[in-house]
Amino acid sequence: MFNTQKNKKGFSLLETVIFIGIAVFLIAIITSLLIVYVRAYVTFNAASRINTAALSSGDRITREIKLTTSVNVAASTFGTHPGNLVLNTNPGGVPTVIEFYLDGTTLKIKRDGVIVGALTGSNVNIDKLIFWHTSLGNAQIVSYEMNIVTSAGSSTRSATFLTSSAIRGAY
């Protein structure tokens, strides 16, 4: 009695080539998905840095404008970059001078001539800061334009923010 069936061990060359082809195809799909996810993360992270800087610095500037008693027009720079804004306040009956200005590409604040700190972090730059002051009778409005830039890898993102606030402390 002869055994006509041979014991097969291993894979044939055709099966191995098909397996490798499927594996390469799956690796290519996974790699392209990872690239898409990394790019999306970088884009989201850059947008998040810009929005955080705009919210924190814009909120501080707007709050100080609303609470100020007057704008020191002579000491401020309006209508040009880099602008600076000098506000006269009176918190608790104590006259105080607050100044917003650019130091390089970082937005900073001074209180009575002493630097309080930076309003933007080191991961964003402000490449445009322009203030405007408008008086209409008793009403005073301060507007500003701020362009915030951040870099992530080889890409750079920027956004421009425009805001106006009425001075409420003067009434």
User: 9-24: per-residue pLDDT in tens?
Assistant: 777 888 899 999 999 9
Q: How far is CA 20 from CA 8, 9, 10, 34, in A?
A: 21, 19, 15, 21
Could you give the number of structural domains in the chain?
1
Asked if residue 34 belongs to a domain, the reply is yes
Q: In this predicted structure, what is the pLDDT of residue 122?
A: 83
pLDDT tens for 52-62 read: 999 999 999 99
- Whether 81 is covered by a domain: the verdict is yes
Measured CA to CA, the distance from residue 140 to residue 165 in angstroms comes to 9
Give residues with Cβ within 8 angstroms of 77, minimum separation 6. 83, 84, 131
| 32 located within any domain | yes
Segment 120-154, tens digit of pLDDT: 988 899 999 999 999 888 888 999 999 999 987 77
- Name which of 118, 169, 102 is nearest 142 in CA terms: 169
Q: State the residue range of the domain holding 127.
A: 13-166
Q: Is residue 4 part of a domain?
A: no
Answer yes or no: is 5 within a domain: no
pLDDT digits (tens, 9 = 90+) for 26-51: 999 999 999 999 888 888 888 889 99
pTM of the complete model: 0.76
